[in-house]
Structure 1
Amino acid sequence: MVEKDSKEITVKRQCELLDINRTSIYYTPVPISPEEIEIKHKIDEIYTRWPTYGYRRITAMLKRYGYEINRKRVRRYMSRSELK
């Protein structure tokens, strides 16, 4: 673990010793939005019911349900979920 307030050794040197990128210690992950969780659940629901549907058909189904979403986002969510 890198100690940012250390007086003895700099952050740069600590990162060198640990062989990690210095920018990675300042990164704070962005929390997943409730909208994203809802869309992912809906994609999973559609895919479970129709496993032959690809990202284009699932995008069309989501649009019918009233979601404002494009095919690239659906494809990204499906690939992260390892669907098709």
Structure 2
Amino acid sequence: MKFDTNELTIYEVESLHKSLLDEFSEDNLVLDMQNVNRVDMSVIQLFISAQKTAKESSKKFALQNVNEELAQIIKNSACDFLLEENG
């Protein structure tokens, strides 16, 4: 799944959640974050939930193409485990 926006916030969480559920029902969930520079805590929380769901379903959740700015936001939130691929 690829994003066309450079910022993901609480305003996109509901539609993002629905998209993630649709993707998960089909396959592993790999999010291409190439165009995303900023996320807020609501999106990080959604990613944590998606990672947990993936683990419980024996599926993969991964963030790809995370730039330095976004990686720093995730690290500052103490959620840098989201940057590690799991399988």
Question: TM-score scaled to structure 1, two decimals?
Answer: 0.32
By relative contact order (CA 8 Å, sep 6+), the higher-ranking structure is 2
- Structure holding more helix per residue: 1
Whichever of the two has the greater Rg, that structure is 1
